[in-house]
Structure 1
Amino acid sequence: MNLESPLDIDLLDEKFSLEGELGFIEMEGELPFISVSNKYAQADICLYGAHVMSFTPHNTFELLWMSPSSFSEEGKAIRGGIPVCFPWFGPHNSDPQLPQHGFGRLMYWEVIETRAEANGETLIRFQLNASEATKAYWPHDFSAELVITVGAALKLILNVTNTSTEAFEYSCALHSYFNLSGIENIHIEGLQGTTYYNQLTKANAIQEEANLTISEPVTRHYLDTQTPVIIADPVFRRRIQVQKAGSQVTTVWNPGQEACLNMQDMPDDGYETFVCVEATNAFKHSITLAPGESHQTATIIGLEV
């Protein structure tokens, strides 16, 4: 499933490029993307899915993890970076044949604005509106905007508006993959005392430990929390801070070895060098919008200062 590409890279470059800071690139056999380089960082953002694929502040190396086996073709999701899960998170609640994590990551988003900010940051605004293609999978009228700001930190804001005449419910996530020295080296701070749903055991529990370490497959959805977390990686000598707003669920995921063996778009040992920490709205925290209402889900990713 995908939208037929509406893109003319030359026209986009003419209208939205920022000299010396932002340009549009289309490489043979690859999906088109935006390349950003400013005084703070470099970033690559694929137009397919409005998908951040790379974020590298100048004082460190790549913060995001991309699978070297990821698909890079229409109709298939990109593995790694920051997929936008919308308008549902995980499998569809009534039709398992519909795409995992919704259709937002399987469609081209329209670039509607680029801007060089006075402080040196770079802003890109994407939009995905209801269409015949989206209504084949979800019957509602909506407008979704994703605003990405590249600076010393990377900020994403997903703003969903109900443009229909009836209320609807959706779930979403900013499904961030983080680049690690090794899963056994890191710990995650900020979740102690938080109730989580363990998707692997289908049970709720409370994290008693001060820090989460990962030595086996993990799919935890921490509930009723907006607390920032830290991914501490002493081997890489950095602490990645993951902040969020408008999200009541923090998802932590690493598939472990056995699941990786069954993923075509991930190396067998891929699980060793990433963890996902996601700003999520799902389960009892799915979002209901009345006609005309909007909701923002945001995440801010950067090094702890």
Structure 2
Amino acid sequence: MSTPKVESEKHGELNCWRITSDTAELLVAQQGAQVLSYQRLGEPPLLWLSEQAIFKQGKSVRAGVPVCWPWFGNLKRNPSAVQAMYGAEEAPAHGLVRGRDWQLLGIDSSGDSVRIEFTLPDTQGNLPGWPHNVELTLTIVMAEQLSITLSSYNLDNVPVTISQALHSYFAVSDVREVKVEGVDSLAYIETLADWEQRQQQGALGFAGETDRIYLQAPEQLSIVDPAWNRRVVITAQGSSTAVIWNPWTERAAELPDMADDGWQRMLCIETANVWDDVVTLAPGATHSLSLKIDSEQL
């Protein structure tokens, strides 16, 4: 077993690191502390990197695992306690941290395991319109599985309320042929039908644009992909909501950083704290949102 190799790379305007072990390869950007791609050697990728991804400062890359924080999606769709934390007029989608350079604290390897740790000092009072003091760290561990943990530690003397997500883009052979297991009988918000609450029957298949918030989600969901003969197992902690999204044809055609047929090769299952699952951090409290990605043959 050899020591994992760490190489610095530049992709467009973004500083990145490529980490290669005997069994897997990981690409991480400094901007957003964003995992861009993850693949086990000799297998199809587990995380999807758009073929038309734009590597530009200030713009989240359509790939891997963007970090949405201190709110998810449209701020106006968030609970009032999350909205009240923000004081500026313009509220970008998915929060304030995806387009900022994080500080790399270290890349450490032990055996065939690699640990990468980032922090974003801006969240301690320097985010425009968001005058709170929260220590934010992201830890990535590439071992037999890939683990990502986002930790928020409230240094303020008043409570802070956030919504957040690890917005994972999973690679699939063809989204029309895969199913998501673990959602049967769950209540979900159908955002494409006036945000109605509905109930899932059976596994989730895909035949059109999908944008749903699953409530009281279990710790484990999985993507069953027969063409690639694999099950991708997604294990969440610190979260009881999961957002499942695919733009399908019309939406994909509107996205400049996605090929017109790119929707066929990706599926977002986002480990989240949204809707009635937002997080209120008391002074001195910490919350960790974590995601583990593994796969097995069918």
Q: Which string of whole-angstrom CA distances, capped at 9 and with x for unpartnered residues, describes residues 22-43 of structure 1?
A: 232235x341111111123110
- Structure 1 residue corresponding to 2:104, chosen from 107, 111, 124: 111
SS of residue matched to 1:32: strand
- Using structure 2 for the length normalisation, give the TM-score: 0.90
- Structure 1 residue corresponding to 2:54, chosen from 45, 55, 71: 71
2:91 aligns with 98
8 Å CA contact 1:226–1:245 kept in 2: the answer is no
Give the aligned residue type for 2:130: W
Percent identity reads 29
* Separation in structure 2 between the aligned mates of residue 104 and residue 31 of structure 1, nearest angstrom: 15
Moved more, 258-267 or 290-299: 258-267
Deviation at 1:131, TM superposition (A): 5.5
2:219 aligns with 227
Please list, as runs of the form range in 1=range in 2, the aligned pairs for 1:267-282 lying within 5 A after superposition. Answer: 267-282=259-274
SS of residue matched to 2:227: coil
Deviation at 1:237, TM superposition (A): 1.3
1:144 aligns with 136
* Separation in structure 1 between the aligned mates of residue 168 and residue 129 of structure 2, nearest angstrom: 24
Please list, as runs of the form range in 1=range in 2, the aligned pairs for 1:35-74 lying within 5 A after superposition. Answer: 35-74=18-57
Stretches of structure 2 that go unaligned for 5 or more consecutive residues are: 77-82
8 Å CA contact 2:50–2:63 kept in 1: the answer is yes
1:206 aligns with 199
Is 2:272 the partner of 1:284? no
Q: 1:96 to 1:214 in 2, by over 3 A?
A: farther
* Separation in structure 2 between the aligned mates of residue 46 and residue 284 of structure 1, nearest angstrom: 31
2:156 aligns with 164
Is 2:163 the partner of 1:180? no
8 Å CA contact 1:145–1:159 kept in 2: the answer is yes
Q: Which string of whole-angstrom CA distances, capped at 9 and with x for unpartnered residues, describes residues 29-79 of structure 1?
A: 341111111123110100100110111112522111111222211121111
SS of residue matched to 1:299: strand
Q: 1:166 to 1:41 in 2, by over 3 A?
A: same
* Separation in structure 2 between the aligned mates of residue 130 and residue 167 of structure 1, nearest angstrom: 18
Q: Which string of whole-angstrom CA distances, capped at 9 and with x for unpartnered residues, describes residues 259-304 of structure 1?
A: 1121122122221111001110011111000111110000001113
1:22 aligns with 6
* Aligned length, in residue pairs: 285
Q: 1:303 to 1:206 in 2, by over 3 A?
A: same
Q: Which string of whole-angstrom CA distances, capped at 9 and with x for unpartnered residues, describes residues 189-241 of structure 1?
A: 111011111111110111112x1100011111111123311101111111111
2:79 aligns with none
Is 2:115 the partner of 1:123? yes
Q: Which string of whole-angstrom CA distances, capped at 9 and with x for unpartnered residues, describes residues 156-181 of structure 1?
A: 00001111121110011011111111
Give the aligned residue type for 1:87: P
Q: 1:81 to 1:125 in 2, by over 3 A?
A: same
SS of residue matched to 1:266: coil
Give the aligned residue type for 2:104: V
* Separation in structure 2 between the aligned mates of residue 104 and residue 46 of structure 1, nearest angstrom: 13
Q: Which string of whole-angstrom CA distances, capped at 9 and with x for unpartnered residues, describes residues 104-145 of structure 1?
A: 111111111221124x21000100123688431312111111
Stretches of structure 1 that go unaligned for 5 or more consecutive residues are: 1-17
2:258 aligns with 266
Q: 1:137 to 1:266 in 2, by over 3 A?
A: farther
* Separation in structure 2 between the aligned mates of residue 151 and residue 132 of structure 1, nearest angstrom: 31
- Structure 1 residue corresponding to 2:188, chosen from 189, 196, 199: 196
* Separation in structure 2 between the aligned mates of residue 219 and residue 178 of structure 1, nearest angstrom: 15
